[in-house]
Amino acid sequence: MRKNYSETPELNGVAERLNRTLIESARSMLLDAKLPKSYWAEAVSTATYLKNRSPTRAAQGKTPYEEWHGEKPNVDYIREFGCEVYAHILKGECHKLNSKSKKCILNLRDGQLETETST
């Protein structure tokens, strides 16, 4: 009797290639943005997010998002991974002589723009 291990990515060429593609994309994004390896989860999440919004031959030129939701994804808000941004500090939270913004790193998660204080 032969066992089938279809759930393991090592024996599934398509899944293994996708994993490798996502890791290579994440590595490239981290290096390009000059971010530390501690941002690897955000980089992989962003790579996956972008992959799901990119056309694929398997879906006849449509995106996986389009196949799942039945509409084209909105990509107008997408910015460069890890770019520097400045978050406004509300009036009640800062002194009148202090800076009115703080330097942050932009992360893209689930279609939302979020900031994290850079180190």
Q: Is residue 31 part of a domain?
A: yes
Q: Residue 47 sits in which domain range?
A: 9-117
- C-alpha span between 70 and 41 (Å, rounded): 28
pTM assigned to the model:
0.68
Q: Is residue 76 part of a domain?
A: yes
The ranges of the chain with pLDDT < 50 are 110-113, 118-119
- C-alpha span between 109 and 10 (Å, rounded): 28
Q: Is residue 92 part of a domain?
A: yes
Q: Is residue 38 part of a domain?
A: yes
Instruction: With both helix axes pointing from N to C terminus, report the angle between 40-51 and 13-33 in degrees, rounded to the nearest 10.
Output: 120
Number of domains present in the structure of the chain = 1
